[in-house]
Amino acid sequence: MITIHDKKFEVYITESEIEFAIEKITQKLFDDFQDETPVFIGVLNGSFRFVAQVIKNYNNNCTISFVKVASYHGTENAAIENLIGLNEDIKDKHVIILEDIVDTGNTVEYLKAELKKQEPKSVKIATLFFKPDVFKKDIKIDYVGIRIQDKFIVGYGLDYDGLGRNLNDVYALSENN
């Protein structure tokens, strides 16, 4: 058990389980994009570690970029999203979004739509973690590392209010808080 800010967390998924799941995703990506030079687009901040681990095992031509989806509240209190950091030309390229976690799916839905405006050849979504019980969207999540219950998790790049990204295992919010 560890404490982050005011909350207790317990180990939920170990680093070796995570890295095994990433190896499987990477193998599928390798098989699917063998004859191409795909563009991997990591979504900051949470995906940095996932991206590093994919790239470590991806022994073929590829390029790597990072973007951020900044979200703020407009006057109607609806979330307004804004894509920053994409300075690579993705027209006619195969793009793979690398996300740390897909929860409601709002972020990847927005991101996919924004990227499509630049006319890439294809856009696929790969996520390390996926919460199927929370996901509400009508888009395909093409590559999933680990499906998890509807729990709040930290570690392996994911944070709780800024802390916990450096943890090697993934921790879930404890029932004893």
Residues designated catalytic: 103
The answer to whether 1 and 8 are in contact (CB under 8 A) is yes
Instruction: Count the site residues for ligand IMP by CB under 6 A.
Output: 13
How far apart, in whole angstroms, are the C-alpha atoms of residue 113 and residue 107? 10
The dihedrals phi and psi of 31, each to the nearest 5 degrees, come to: -65, -45
Cβ at position 102, least distance to ligand IMP in Å: 5
Tell which positions 41-60 bind Mg ion, by CB under 5 A.
46
Sole binder of ligand IMP in the list 4, 22, 125, 153 (CB under 6 A)? 153
Tell which positions 78-107 bind ligand IMP, by CB under 6 A.
99-107
Cβ at position 31, least distance to Mg ion in Å: 26
Q: Given the structure tokens 């800024």, which residue do they identify?
A: 162
Choice between 33 and 41, CB closer to ligand IMP: 41
111 binds ligand IMP (CB under 6 A): no
The answer to whether 55 and 40 are in contact (CB under 8 A) is yes
Cβ at position 45, least distance to Mg ion in Å: 7
Instruction: With contacts defined by CB under 6 A, name the span among 18-26, 31-39, 57-65, 150-158 that binds ligand IMP.
Output: 150-158
